[in-house]
Amino acid sequence: MLLSPAEEARLVARLRAAGCVFAEDEARLLAGAAATAAELEALAGRREAGAPLEHLVGAVEFCGLRVAVGPGVFVPRQRTAALVARAAAEARAVAGRTGRRPVAVDLCCGCGAVGLALATAVGLAELHAADVDPAALPYARRNLDPVGGRVHGGDLYDALPARLRGRVDVLVVNAPYVPTAALALLPPEARLHEPRTALDGGPDGLDVHRKVLAGAPDWLSPDGGLLVEIGAAQGPGLAAAAADAGLSVRADTDPDDGTTVVTATRTRATAV
């Protein structure tokens, strides 16, 4: 709905008082998501109470794409664009080595943002996505249907069609990697409004990653690579888990925020 300058100023003041850093932008987004003054008042009240803006407006911009999200669903972080970029590079490398379009899997897909961005950046033969959270699956299907992605519900590899075993060229995984003890330090928007299963990575943050690494050799193609996002301090722990699975790793770390993308393969050895 359209707001008068005075109405917009009042909304901006409310949001700023609630601690919203980008209050002007948020006011415009909330107004655009509301059809009536009553709807806008309800949205503004929920935002003041701490509900994530993305849940209220039903979408987040990620890698230049509009990605549908909703209440109770993990909101893709902008830093995960680095994981998409590395996965796209791996997909292109596979295509160059094999002369065919790669098969990709977005495991722990949540709303499917990583798979959507990957499929938009690179031509894929197949895209599959899987998540254990039933609340996320409708959003994943909404986001991935337009690019031909197929979404499966279940726990990690158990969710995937058996015919993919040994055929996955790009296995991209944005699994939870926050150590359990650090969950209390997360912003309230995440801690109170996103599923714990999308945040809690266990004592050192790598519980899910160890399971993913252990199963990866059965699912990766001979030229395939597994790509995961972790914190920089978790690199040695992940490298040890990869070695246990017979995989070699390469790590790329963002110098600004410490986000690390690790690529694990069976054939191209590079140390962390």
Phi, psi of 136 (to 5 degrees): -80, -25
Domain segments of the chain as ranges: 5-68, 79-266
Binned at pLDDT 50, 70 and 90, residue 106 comes out as: very high
pLDDT in tens, 51-99: 999 999 999 999 999 999 999 999 999 999 999 999 999 999 999 999 9
Q: Provide the mean pLDDT of the chain.
A: 94
* Strand order from edge to edge, sheet including 220-231: 150-153, 126-131, 103-107, 168-173, 220-231, 259-265, 248-253
**Length in residues, the chain:** 272
Q: Are 187 and 240 in contact (CB under 8 A)?
A: no
In words, the CATH class of domain 79-266 is alpha beta
Identify the CATH homologous superfamily for domain 5-68: Ubiquitin-associated (UBA) domain (1.10.8.10)
pTM for the full predicted model: 0.91
pLDDT in tens, 210-267: 999 999 999 999 999 999 999 999 999 999 999 999 999 999 998 888 889 999 998 5
